């Protein structure tokens, strides 16, 4: 079976009949002791029964959805309450990238807005040594 084919599962009383065929067949094989040709005959009987069901009772089968591995499953999101229409949303703080110094005064490492750890709108820590970076004085609005 290829990866693009959809698996179908036998359901309802037809599944019970299929299980019964196997149990009775295995009991006969145990009783007679003729395992080698008997198991092939039992397999053939089972396949013929399934083929007849596909031909005359197609509703005996349902599509089986493949399960995703745990790593690929998406986590279920908790429901989020929508804010009331008359309450304004809080403003999103904008980091003042233009206030960053070009390098850290403690370790001399280059400071880039994507790499620093922003601790506030006008406050950031060095990505290399963790020191708090002093913001440029001339541009601070307050």
pTM of the model: 0.40
Across 32-36, 79-83, 91-95, 121-125, which has the greatest mean pLDDT? 32-36
- 56-66 residue pLDDT tens: 877 777 777 66
Nearest to 134, CA basis, from 115, 106, 114: 106
* pLDDT exceeds 90 at position 24: yes
Q: Report, as an integer, the average pLDDT of 6-31.
A: 85
Half-sphere exposure of 71 (CA within 13 A, CB side): 0
Instruction: For residue range 110-142, list pLDDT tens digits in order.
Output: 888 788 888 877 788 888 888 888 887 654 454
Reported as a pLDDT band with limits 50, 70 and 90, residue 92 is low
At residue 142, the pLDDT reads: 46
CA distance 58 to 139: 75
Alpha-carbon Rg for the chain, nearest whole angstrom, is: 35
d(CA 26, CA 42) in angstroms, rounded, equals 8
pLDDT of residue 76: 67
List the chain domain ranges: 7-64, 95-134
**Mean pLDDT of all residues in 79-83:** 62
Range of weakest confidence among 23-27, 40-44, 85-89? 85-89
């Amino acid at each position: 079976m290829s990866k693009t084919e959809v698996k179908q599962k036998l359901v309802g009383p037809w599944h019970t009949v299929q299980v019964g065929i196997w149990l009775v067949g295995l009991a006969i094989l145990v009783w007679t002791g003729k395992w080698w040709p008997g198991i092939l005959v039992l397999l053939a009987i089972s396949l013929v029964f399934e083929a007849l069901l596909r031909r005359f009772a197609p509703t005996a089968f349902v599509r089986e959805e493949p399960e995703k591995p745990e790593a690929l499953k998406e986590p279920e999101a908790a429901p989020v309450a929508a804010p009331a229409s008359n309450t304004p949303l809080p403003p999103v703080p904008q980091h003042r990238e233009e206030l960053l110094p070009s390098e850290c005064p403690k370790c001399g490492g280059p400071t880039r807005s994507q790499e620093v750890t922003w601790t506030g709108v006008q406050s950031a820590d060095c990505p290399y040594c963790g020191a708090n970076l002093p913001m440029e004085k001339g541009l601070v609005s307050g």
